[in-house]
């Protein structure tokens, strides 16, 4: 378990560091780059591209290499990051509003997470956790996002095994000793569902069928060795390869069906969204690795 705990400690520090960088007028891409550089400096690797999804976007926003978009006053910024130590993963998220107009929304997901964590131990049913999350978020006057959930973590796998709902979905599967899970309540002013939105430029290698150009084959090999089954993004690749090489490789990899691109996930009714997340090792006295 040592690597899982180490990954959590680095993720916690990276989350705090990233939170401090989110300010009005700052370029979003620069914050994401700094977070990933911080993770590497601390001895970890990004388990997936650092993401900051704003306002109605619940998840899966990361910047392109040339983006100059900046944080604006009133933005509700969901910072979601992961750390890998030899495939042992920590996944954590926090929300920062630039201003104080929607602090109740931010607090709703934060307190829902805190209350859910109190329930974690072997033998607890998944829907019991979801029921508590739903109770807390609705007590603030908001809705949980029902088609996003927490999840189990595995070696080099961010999402695997069980899902931990954000409402009572009736799933009575019981938590087991030493399972590693991420709990992530999402609270929204909207209906409580996300839909598939614009492309995110976040990908995952799902196949290694042969492709034509030598430079694209080189990038595919790099993806296999560097990321394995973990997500990556164009912004990360352009730190190693030229933009034309990356563009060609992405086209060829997509045509061959070797990569999957995650969509951005906006709230269906354009409701504002907040999110908080911790990674936990399930025990009678659970270990919250990202605390």
Catalytic residues: 80, 91, 151, 159, 184, 277
Residue 291: its H or E element: none
| SS (HEC) of 131-167 | HHHHHHHHHCCCEECCCCCEEEEECCEEEEEEEECCC
In what helix (H) or strand (E) does residue 237 lie, and over which residues does it extend?
A: helix 234-237
Task: Give CA–CA dist 49/230, Å, rounded.
Answer: 9
At which residue do the structure tokens 């998220």 appear? Answer: 93
Q: Are 254 and 261 in contact (CB under 8 A)?
A: yes
- Would you give the distance in Å from CA 100 to the centre of its chain? 24
3-state secondary structure 50-85: EEEEECCEEECCCCCCCCCCECCCCCEEEEEEEEEE
Q: Which two tokens stand for residue 265?
A: 């996930």
| 71 in Cβ contact with 22 (< 8 Å) | yes
């Amino acid at each position: 378990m040592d690597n899982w705990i180490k990954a959590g400690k680095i993720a916690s520090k990276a989350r705090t560091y990233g939170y401090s960088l989110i300010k009005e007028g700052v370029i979003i891409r620069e914050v994401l780059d700094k977070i990933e550089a911080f993770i590497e400096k601390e001895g970890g690797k990004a388990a997936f591209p650092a993401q900051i999804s704003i306002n109605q976007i619940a998840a899966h926003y990361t910047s392109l290499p040339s983006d100059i978009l900046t944080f604006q006053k009133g933005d509700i910024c969901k910072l979601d990051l992961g750390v890998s130590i030899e495939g042992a993963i920590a996944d954590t998220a926090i929300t920062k509003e630039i201003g104080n107009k929607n602090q109740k929304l931010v607090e709703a997901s934060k307190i829902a997470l805190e209350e859910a964590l109190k329930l974690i131990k072997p033998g607890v049913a998944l829907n019991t956790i979801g029921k508590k999350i739903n109770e807390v978020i609705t007590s603030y006057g908001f809705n949980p996002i029902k088609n996003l959930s927490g999840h189990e973590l595995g070696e080099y796998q961010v999402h695997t095994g069980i899902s931990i709902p954000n409402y009572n979905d009736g799933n009575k599967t019981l938590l087991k000793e030493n399972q590693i899970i991420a709990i992530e309540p999402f609270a929204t002013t909207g209906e409580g569902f996300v839909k598939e939105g614009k492309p995110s430029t976040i990908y995952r290698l799902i196949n290694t069928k042969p492709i034509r150009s030598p430079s694209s084959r080189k990038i595919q090999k790099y993806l296999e060795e560097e990321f394995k089954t973990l997500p990556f993004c164009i912004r990360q690749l352009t730190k190693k390869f030229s933009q034309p090489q990356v563009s060609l490789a992405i086209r060829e990899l997509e045509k061959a069906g070797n990569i999957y691109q995650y969509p951005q996930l906006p709230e269906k009714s354009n409701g504002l969204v907040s999110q908080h997340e911790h990674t936990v090792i399930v025990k009678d006295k659970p270990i919250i690795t990202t605390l």
